[in-house]
Structure 1
Amino acid sequence: MGWLTVIALLAFLFLAFVAFVSYKMVKPPRLIEDWTPKEFGHDYEDVTIETRDGLKLSGWWIDNGSDKTVIPLHGYTSSRWYSLYMKPTVEFLLKEGYNVLVFDFRAHGRSGGKYTTVSDKELTDVLSAIDWLKKEHPDKAEKIGLIGFSMGAMVTIRALAEDERTCCGVADSPPMDLDKTGARGLRYFANLPEWLYTFVKPFTKLFSGGREIHPIEYADRVRKPLLIIAGEKDPLVKVEEVRAFYERNKRINPNVELWVTDATHVRTLKFHPEEWKAKVGEFLRKWMA
């Protein structure tokens, strides 16, 4: 076997490995658990939300007798069932008196869709959920707030900029530069070197059909109340990246707040639950009133 053949074989094996990693990244495992809002003493309705691009999302509608609804948005590889932050967030919102509409993003949980685009087409999911809410329960949607975690936080920022029906949002651990977070994610999720992301990225776009989304680009567009939560020990999102968004956004948005904690990624609620609930509760009461 000549050297050229060996090099060609190694190149093929490398590209095959990169393609495999890319495929696994855009097709995350589906997290499904068995708890329901009945654990909190609330009846709920299983709902199917048809997206503007024809997918079917699975979710819960929990009518809490209010004219205000909050939509919690989960992160990449998670779902509405994630006990780390989704379950306590749903419980918290119900105790605060809000209606809750919670669903699984495409390619997550029980929702349709083969691939995640990590905040590109997921915006369509959120806008479609708001469409559903406005059509099915218009009297329950006088005010609509969002609480997003990680990928859901990215979508929260985008929705505040692009949909007039949202009134305010909380973005917990939002990646600001998806290239940087994606590279760190290879190490965090798969224990692979960050430099591999340069080769993985084109394949993820090829498989998913998604566009690159960098929330930092929305810093000049969000003019609604926004609470951003960042953790100093976050291995995926650096505080300085979040702070750069905050400093840029506050030039046009007097109602943006930044809360920096000592937590890791999306774990402020876990490590500082009472502080998180107090801070987020105060923010929502102020802007959902």
Structure 2
Amino acid sequence: MMWVGVLILVLLAFLAFSAFVAYKMITPPRLVGDWTPKDIGFDYEEVTFETEDGLRLSGWWVDNRSDKTVLPLHGYTASRWERLYMRPTIEFLLREGYNVLAFDFRAHGKSGGRYTTVGDRELLDLRAAVNWLRKNHPQSAEKIGLVGFSMGGIVTIRALAEVGEICCGVADSPPMYIDRTGARGLRYFAKLPEWLYHFVKPFIKLFSGGKEVHPIEYSDRVRKPLLLIAGENDPLVKVEEVKKFYERNKRINPSVELWVTDAPHVRTLKFHPEEWKGKVREFLGKWMG
């Protein structure tokens, strides 16, 4: 019967490893940088606000003397300091004349929270930001738009369906099936087999208390202007998945657009900066006035 004992030990070790992987996935390293909007020529204010579940979030408020504000939403493992897409997006939006409220999602950057839920409770974070804006700068909240990347794209899509104050949104590289993207992420980032995600997922839910959010399920709910950006070389989000959302959503939403590029995940702004800016400029200008 020794083999039974060995088998039990192997099983326990496998479960322990799965739990470890889950813990690492929901506690991303915190990215805190050394640049601020002042470095790109804009005065700013350090702000904090509290979510309805009691977390204190940290961000920047840049008042550009407009009645229109755009919130750039970062992706998983990033923060407002992220240089690949957040810094150029913040600079772009400010030079276009919008106010900017940039903040760190829970468990990222300088915000509170121990665990990320990758699009579930992050909607509470966005609600808190919008409430802070409307309370403290109502004159700047006549129109509120979003530009979200990856996880931020998930929140953007959800917000268009669930947050009344949001008028339009750009979702760059938004996962449509969080379990599929999570499994691909194991292979892409950790060189682990995708099938391991099926064993990791229960521990993710147990530790974080969050639920899986599949934006594809919102394709029948979003009726506000939405620009989807997808990359053919994205190892985490398949173009076909974003196209499926688009095809379903356009049946009820004449204001949805899809732009497919040849870029990897959240890299369209890097590889095609002028085209990205042109598309987003036209979209925001049309729907925010």
TM-score, with structure 2 as normaliser: 0.99
Structure 1 residue 49 displacement after superposition: 1.2
* Aligned amino acid, residue 223 of structure 1: R
Could you tell me which residue of structure 2 aligns to residue 273 of structure 1?
273
Supply the distance in 2 between the matched residues of 1:272 and 1:36 (Cα, whole angstroms): 24
Structure 1 residue 203 displacement after superposition: 0.3
Supply the distance in 2 between the matched residues of 1:11 and 1:92 (Cα, whole angstroms): 52
Is 1:132 matched up with 2:132?
A: yes
Supply the distance in 2 between the matched residues of 1:178 and 1:61 (Cα, whole angstroms): 30
Structure 1 residue 104 displacement after superposition: 0.2
Supply the distance in 1 between the matched residues of 2:41 and 2:213 (Cα, whole angstroms): 39
Could you tell me which residue of structure 2 aligns to residue 19 of structure 1?
19
Structure 1 residue 248 displacement after superposition: 0.2
Could you tell me which residue of structure 2 aligns to residue 65 of structure 1?
65
Structure 1 residue 93 displacement after superposition: 0.2
The one-character-per-residue Cα deviations of 1:40-72 (angstroms, maximum 9, x if unpaired) are: 111000000111111000000000010000000
Structure 1 residue 115 displacement after superposition: 0.1
Supply the distance in 2 between the matched residues of 1:203 and 1:111 (Cα, whole angstroms): 23
* Aligned amino acid, residue 53 of structure 1: D
Matches within 5 A, 1:20-39: 20-39=20-39
Supply the distance in 2 between the matched residues of 1:187 and 1:135 (Cα, whole angstroms): 44
* Aligned amino acid, residue 46 of structure 1: E
Supply the distance in 2 between the matched residues of 1:72 and 1:88 (Cα, whole angstroms): 10
Could you tell me which residue of structure 1 aligns to residue 163 of structure 2?
163
The one-character-per-residue Cα deviations of 1:141-169 (angstroms, maximum 9, x if unpaired) are: 00000000000000000000001100000
Structure 1 residue 214 displacement after superposition: 0.2
Q: After TM superposition, which residue ranges in structure 1, 4 or more long, deviate above 3 angstroms?
A: none
Supply the distance in 1 between the matched residues of 2:191 and 2:210 (Cα, whole angstroms): 24
Is 1:200 matched up with 2:203?
A: no
Is 1:254 matched up with 2:257?
A: no
Could you tell me which residue of structure 1 aligns to residue 2 of structure 2?
2
3-state SS of paired residue (1:167): strand
3-state SS of paired residue (1:61): strand
Structure 1 residue 278 displacement after superposition: 0.5
Could you tell me which residue of structure 1 aligns to residue 144 of structure 2?
144
* Aligned amino acid, residue 113 of structure 2: G
Could you tell me which residue of structure 1 aligns to residue 213 of structure 2?
213
Structure 1: runs of 5+ lacking an equivalent: none
Supply the distance in 2 between the matched residues of 1:98 and 1:81 (Cα, whole angstroms): 19
* Aligned amino acid, residue 184 of structure 2: R
Could you tell me which residue of structure 2 aligns to residue 225 of structure 1?
225
Could you tell me which residue of structure 1 aligns to residue 91 of structure 2?
91
Supply the distance in 1 between the matched residues of 2:191 and 2:9 (Cα, whole angstroms): 25
Structure 1 residue 111 displacement after superposition: 0.2
Could you tell me which residue of structure 2 aligns to residue 235 of structure 1?
235
TM-score, with structure 1 as normaliser: 0.99
* Aligned amino acid, residue 41 of structure 1: G
Supply the distance in 1 between the matched residues of 2:48 and 2:168 (Cα, whole angstroms): 25
The one-character-per-residue Cα deviations of 1:88-134 (angstroms, maximum 9, x if unpaired) are: 00000000000000000000000000000000000000011000000
Supply the distance in 2 between the matched residues of 1:120 and 1:166 (Cα, whole angstroms): 18
What's the Cα RMSD here?
A: 0.6
* Aligned amino acid, residue 192 of structure 2: L
Structure 1 residue 179 displacement after superposition: 1.0
